[in-house]
Amino acid sequence: MIKHLSFEGLLPITVDEALAIVESVMDNKRLTELQKIVFRLSWERKSYQEIAQVSHCTSGNIRAVGAQLWNQLSKSFGEKVGKHNLQSVIERYLKSRQDDGPPSGFLEKPIVDELPLIELFSQLREAGFPLGIGEYKLLLEALQKGFGTSDRTSLYRLCKTLWVKSAEDKRLFDYHFELIVKESQETIPAIPEKPANSAPETEDSGIIETAPILTEETSRPIISAPPPELVKAIEDEVQAAKAVMQATNKYEAISDRQFILTSEYFPVTRRQMKQSWRYLRRPVREGPPVELDVEATVNQIGRQGILLSPVLVPRRINRSQLLLLIDRDGSMVPFHDLSHRLAETAVRGGRLGNAGIYYFQNCPVDYLYHDPYQLEAEKIDRLLAKLRPEKSAMLIFSDAGAARGGYSEERVELTAGFLQQIKTKVRYVAWLNPMPESRWEGTTAGKVARLVPMFEMARRGLQDAIGLLRGKSQSSVFVGTE
Amino acid sequence: MAETLNREALKYTGKVQPQLGKIDENGQMLYPYLPEEDLVEAVNLAIQLERPLLIKGEPGCGKTKLARAVAYELGLPYETWNIKSTSRAKDGLYTYDAVGRLRDAQLAAAGRLSDDKIQEIDKSETYIKWGPLGRAFLKEQTTVVLIDEIDKADIDFPNDLLLELDEQRFVIEETGDKIQAKAAPIVFITSNDEKDLPDAFLRRCLFHYVEFPKRQQLIEIVNAHFVASPESLVNAIIDRFLQLREEMRKDKGESGKKVSTSELMDWFRILRHYPEDKVLDELGKKLLYPGVLLKSWDDYNRYAKQRRVGGDL
């Protein structure tokens, strides 16, 4: 895929190559964006009028940019360059360079005549990797510098280092790489002067050296591709879960009546809730006053005539986006007042406009509801799409089956499915359980508590949960499902 | 131009190790560092492409030590920037002593400053204290900079560093001076994954996940740190260590805290002081010095005694 261009065979060259040549001829001076546009469109034999339309400039403006550009190019190429002889000048230039042999700069480097690994790149992009043209160019640059060219493993490592940014990404990457690169294994860029398995050169002699650490066998094996059923399995699971959900619903509806509504059970007072919330959502300036407020200090000096002490203010801290999910009905009936209070304090206490409160029953599946009576639904997917993963935190208020006791595998699976679903969109998840911790063991809640950090709805628990949502806790790395 | 040539000559091999007991300019002990082959490649890639290398991995598997090792092998100056929860991006570049300047201005106005002092007030650099990254930018030589545990800082922190890392320049707002790096530093960033890093930041970094070393590698690491250790002892200790690690992995899953390389080093350091046959004998029965390996009450209860229970069965 990479080779030294033989220009005779490859003419006409593309506009990108022409631009690269122009920049190399101009001692690697960069063209401005506008110059590039003029160059590109002139290459395609567009008129100044057309160029002006595309670039939203006046045609006089474009003419001026063009004149200046041709002037520069004429100087660099040593012959008159204009809008109409652009292609022929560059072709002539290349031919002459080729006759001289590749002397310097740009021609020394191998040129990529087709885009290597573009398929892998676009696949990864589709898979949601945050990759842009810059990342792709980085790969080209690395290939040109001789990285990843010895064999498939080193190519794999190169792409991994450049494009994979987390351990989770790696799984996806492995899968796509295996799929794409295996098929075209023979055409993997093989730069002849690089021997396969090239050992790192050790030029620094005279320093102590130890034996190479890694043998071929210990180098990272190519993990066999995760089966594509992964994705399907999740879908199936969701569907299975849906069916199960309906079943559990029925069951729960019947057993509702066994509960007696007790009204005054408040492990956390309203004020405490407010305080805790403020902790999460009053992030404007927080912490010890350590930052110098120069303006205020100068004002103070103006008033007092001399500098007595500087005025310090706390530092500004980020605010976060919170999503509060509240379990309603069923076993949660006794806690309705509590959850209402929690929601109310959350809304009122915060200056944070984008806090959202949603309701569900037992387990969020497919839909969440805007109102406690579960009339106005919103699809979870759509809701998640609105979230900004770097800022969102989720607090779930539910007994997770601990109130009734008993263990329901279905409910665990359903919850796990939901947690899996939100995983990519929500950074911190905490679970508040109105039942005391001693009651979780052996019930569904006990199992769910292993999937997600669960706290007892008490002052301490609420504080811990909010601390976690702020990203303060060690255990904040959200585990999700296995 | 000279600088870029220089850069191409920088090639990390991971094979040049300091002699045991050697001390660096800050009085820190230098230790050997045995990187995996792909880590070496990632380092070289980062050097050549002038991108920061983001390193993640289990705590205690040598993320932080890497930068020091690279600086040592390449013979480059080394700067560490330890991030705290209150760190701001600016701190790594410079801090400006506005209070000091205010004080001096007051004293000058009161006529209580000597003439030299008064002249110094007007110099822009008098009140600037450089941070690690700032110092690296000012040095003529390429500097290895370690930004340690970047995830400890505020969520915005990494984004605030984008320009500095990308374009290798910054502006001192108080004086308006523009600082452009004389030689692009080699930047290593470690993260314990307590917070996710912003995508925009990730995009600019190269990434490497440091895997836990394989058995053979562990043996080499131990041998590099403790020369002339009896082979049988090394094997026994590493076997027991790996067994414990495996038990923890089964119980806690991949993401739980497990015993790490650095803990193995500590453990070995202690066990080395005891007669070999005694250690070999005791290891079969119980975990010696569990306090070195097990850091929570829960772990302690579970693993320090488990072995004996297993033996009875």
Substitution target in A144, A173, A214, A300 with the highest count of B β-carbons within 10 Å is A214
Are B291 and B194 members of one domain?
no
Cα of A358 vs its chain's centroid, Å: 25
Token couple for B4: 């870029």
Residue B125 domain-assigned (yes or no): no
DSSP secondary structure code for residue A266 in this structure: -
Provide the residue type at A366 as one letter. D
Q: Is the peptide bond before A12 cis (omega within 30 degrees of 0)?
A: yes
Q: Quick: pLDDT tens for A293-327.
A: 778 888 888 887 777 777 887 766 555 677 888 88
Contact check, Cβ <8 Å, B41/A158: yes
Q: pLDDT tier at A479 (50, 70, 90 boundaries)? A: very low
From B177, B210, B243, give the residue that closes a domain.
B210
pLDDT over 80 at A394, yes or no: yes
- Helices A270-281 and A459-469 cross at an angle (nearest 10°) of 10
pLDDT in the model for residue B145:
93
pLDDT score recorded for residue A114: 67
Q: What is the mean pLDDT of chain B?
A: 82
pLDDT category, A348, cuts 50, 70, 90? low
Instruction: For residue B112, give how far its alpha carbon lies from the nearest alpha carbon of chain A (Å).
Output: 14
To which H or E segment does residue A183 belong? helix A167-183
Does B155 contact A390 at a Cβ distance shorter than 8 Å?
yes
Q: Which long-range contacts (CB under 8 A, 24 or more apart) does A42-51 make?
A: A42/A66, A42/A83, A42/A86, A43/A15, A43/A18, A43/A86, A43/A87, A44/A15, A48/A83
Q: Give the dihedral sign, CA A420/A422/A427/A428.
A: negative
Q: What is the C-alpha end-to-end distance of chain A, expressed in Å? A: 41
Pick the residue of A108, A161, A194 with the most B CBs within 10 A to test the interface with B by mutation: A161
One-letter identity of residue A123 = Q
Chain A closest-CA separation from residue B189 CA (Å):
13
Q: Chain B, 7-36: which have a CB under 8 Å from a chain A CB? A: 11, 13-17, 19, 32, 34-36
Contacts of B41 (CB under 8 A, 6+ apart): A147, A154, A157, A158, A161
The C-alpha of A95 sits at a distance from chain B's nearest C-alpha, in angstroms, of: 28
Tally Cβ neighbours within 10 Å of residue A477.
16
Q: How many domains does chain B have?
A: 2
3-state secondary structure of A286: strand
Q: Which residues are CB-contacts of B27 (< 8 A; sequence separation ≥ 6)?
A: none
For residue A209, the 8-state DSSP code is B
What is the longest distance spanned by two Cα atoms in chain A? 95
C-alpha separations of A223 from A166, A174, A293, A482, B216 in Å = 16, 7, 55, 19, 20
Phi-psi region of B83 (alpha: psi -120 to 50; beta: other; left: phi over 0): beta
Q: How confident is the model at residue B100 (pLDDT cuts 50, 70, 90)?
A: confident
What pLDDT, on the 0 to 100 scale, is given for residue A279?
62
**Residue A420 distance to chain B (closest CA, Å):** 16
Residues of chain B in contact with residue A479, where contact means CB-CB under 8 angstroms, are 253, 255
Mean pLDDT computed over A210-238? 41
Hey, what are A300's tokens? 């103070």
Spatial separation of the C-alpha atoms in residues B166 and B177, rounded to whole Å: 19
Chain B, window 77-96: residues with a beta carbon less than 8 angstroms from a chain A beta carbon:
86, 88
- B210 vs A6: which has the higher pLDDT: B210
Q: For residue B110, is it within any domain?
A: no
Within A275-334, strands assigned E span 285-292, 312-316, 321-327
Query: Both B160 and B226 in a single domain?
Result: no
B182 Cβ contact list (under 8 Å, min separation 6):
B3, B137, B138, B139, B140
ipTM of the complex: 0.75
Residues B303, B237 within the same domain: yes
For residue B147, give the CATH number of its domain: 3.40.50.300
Residue environment code for B81-105, b if the CB has 16+ CB neighbours within 10 A, otherwise e: bebeebbbbbbbbbbbbbbeebebe
pLDDT cut 70: percent of chain A above it: 65
> Inter-chain contact B37–A170, Cβ cutoff 8 Å?
no
List the single range of A180-189, A350-359, B107-116, B193-202 with lowest mean pLDDT.
A180-189
pLDDT at A95 over 80: no
Q: Residue B186 — very low, low, confident or very high, per pLDDT cuts 50/70/90?
A: very high
Kindly determine whether residue A165 and residue B207, on different chains, have CB atoms separated by under 8 Å.
yes
Q: Residue B298: give the domain boundaries.
A: 215-312
| One domain for residues B51 and B142 | yes
Which domains are assigned to chain A? 2-112 (no CATH), 118-187 (no CATH), 242-283+318-476 (3.40.50)
Residues of chain A found within 8 Å of residue B155, distances taken between Cβ atoms:
318, 390-391, 471
Q: Considering only CB atoms, which chain A residues are within 8 Å of B54?
A: 165
Instruction: Using a CB–CB cutoff of 8 Å, tell me whether B103 touches chain A.
Output: yes
CA B78 to chain centre: 11
Nearest to A214 among B37, B203, B206 (CB): B37
In a domain, B117, yes or no: no
Question: Is the pLDDT score of B2 beyond 50?
Answer: no
What whole-number distance in Å separates Cα of residue A468 and Cα of residue A429? 8
Residue B123 lies in a domain: no
- Predicted confidence at residue A306, as pLDDT, reads 73
**pLDDT at residue number A349:** 53
Widest pairwise Cα distance in chain B:
86
pLDDT at A186: 46
CB atoms within 10 A of CB A221: 8
What is the crossing angle of helices A33-43 and A86-100, to 10°? 90
Q: How far is the alpha carbon of A431 from chain B, nearest alpha carbon, in Å? A: 18
pLDDT at B131: 92
* DSSP codes joined into one string, B102-121: HHHHHHHHTT-S-HHHHHHH
Interface contact A200-B207, CB threshold 8 A: no
Identify the bridge partners of residue B129 per DSSP, sorted by sequence position: B95
Burial class (CB in 10 A: 0-12, 13-18, 19+), A306: exposed
Question: Highest mean pLDDT range out of A29-38, A201-210, A433-442, B69-78?
Answer: B69-78
User: In whole angstroms, how far apart are CA A220 and each of B36, B210, B258?
Assistant: 9, 12, 22
Identify residue B264 by its one-letter amino acid code: L
Domain annotation covers residue B261: yes
Picking from A130, A209, A212, the nearest residue to B16 by CB comes out as A209
The predicted structure's pLDDT at residue B143: 92
The average pLDDT across B293-299 equals: 80
Question: Which one has a higher pLDDT value, B153 or B311?
Answer: B153
Question: How many other C-beta atoms can be found within 10 angstroms of the C-beta atom of residue A183?
Answer: 10
- Taking an 8 Å cut-off on Cβ atoms, the answer to whether B208 and A158 are in contact is no
Map residue A2 onto helix, strand or coil. strand
Q: Per mean pLDDT, which range of A256-270, A314-328, B65-79 is the poorest?
A: A256-270
Closest in A160, A165, A287 to B202, CB measured: A165
Torsions phi, psi of B188, nearest 5? -115, 140
CA nearest to B100 within chain A: A310
Q: Does a structural domain hold residue B36?
A: yes
Residues B234, B273 within the same domain: yes
Is-contact A279 A463, C-beta < 8 A?
yes
Question: Chain B 120-149, CB below 8 Å of chain A: which residues?
Answer: none
pLDDT band at A107 (very low <50, low <70, confident <90, very high): very low
Burial-class residue A148 by CB neighbours within 10 Å (0-12, 13-18, 19+): buried
- The nearest CA of chain B is from the CA of A70 a distance in Å of 28
Is B270 within a domain?
yes
Give me the residue from A200, A208, A215 closest to B40, CB to CB: A200
- Nearest-angstrom CA–CA distance, B224 and A188: 38
Give the C-alpha separation, B89 to A394, whole Å.
Answer: 28
The count of CB pairs under 8 A between chains A and B is 141
Give the number of residues written for chain B: 313
Q: Which of residues 201-230 of B touch A (CB under 8 A)?
A: 202-203, 205-209, 211, 214, 216-217, 220, 224
- For residue B255, the chain A residues in CB contact (below 8 A) are 477, 479
β partners of residue B209? B56
Tokens 């030299």 found at? B116
Confidence check: pLDDT of A269 > 80: no
Do B183 and B199 lie in a common domain?
A: yes
Beta carbons within 10 angstroms of residue A390's beta carbon? 19
Residue A48's H or E segment, with its range, is: helix A48-55
Domain boundary among B175, B194, B210: B210
Mean pLDDT of B71-100: 87
Contact (CB, 8 A) for B153 and B85 = yes
Q: Residue B16 is nearest to which of A145, A207, A389, comparing CB atoms?
A: A207
Same domain, B172 and B221: no
B255 part of contact set with chain A, CB < 8 Å: yes
- pLDDT value at position A389? 67
Mean pLDDT of the B161-177 span: 85
What is the pLDDT at residue B146?
Answer: 94
Alpha-carbon distances of B278 from A20, B269, B282, B308, rounded to whole Å: 70, 15, 6, 17
State whether A218 and B217 contact (CB < 8 Å). yes
Mean pLDDT of chain A: 70
The residue assigned the tokens 């160019």 is A137
> Residues 36..55 of B with a Cβ closer than 8 Å to A: which?
36-38, 40-42, 44-45, 48-49, 51, 54
Q: What is the mean pLDDT of residues B214-240?
A: 85
Contact residues, chain B, for A220 at CB < 8 Å: 36, 38, 211
- Is there a contact between A477 and B194 if contact means CB atoms under 8 Å apart? yes
| Chain B residue with the nearest C-alpha to that of A205 | B16
Closest CB from A130, A138, A208 relative to B199: A130
Q: Decide if pLDDT at A350 tops 80.
A: no
Shared domain for B308 and B220, answered yes or no, is yes
Hey, CA dihedral for A335, A338, A344, A347, is it positive or negative?
Answer: negative
CA distances from A69 to A13, A19, B76, B168 (A): 20, 12, 43, 29
pLDDT bin (cut points 50, 70, 90) of residue B189 is: very high
Examine the domain organization and report whether B204 and B274 are in the same domain.
no
DSSP for A49-60? Answer: HHHHHHHTS-HH
| A220 pLDDT higher than 50 | no
Does residue B85 sit in the same domain as residue B222? Answer: no
CA distance B13 to chain A (A): 6
* Contact at CB, A297 and B102, closer than 8 angstroms: yes
Q: Are residues B170 and B254 in the same domain?
A: no
Residues linked to residue A85 through DSSP beta bridges, in sequence order: none
**B107 occurs within a structural domain:** no
**Residues in chain A closer than 8 A to B227 (CB atoms):** none
Share of chain A above pLDDT 90, in %: 0
- Those residues whose C-beta lies under 8 Å from the C-beta of residue B299, and which sit 6 or more positions away, are B248, B257
Per-residue confidence band for A391, with pLDDT thresholds at 50, 70 and 90: low
Same domain, B43 and B87: yes
0.90 surpassed by pTM: no
Asked whether the beta carbons of residue B13 and residue A132 sit closer than 8 angstroms, the reply is no
Domain boundary residue, one of B167, B192, B210: B210
Contact A315 B15 (CB under 8 A): no
Quickly count: other Cβ atoms within 10 Å of residue A159's Cβ. 21
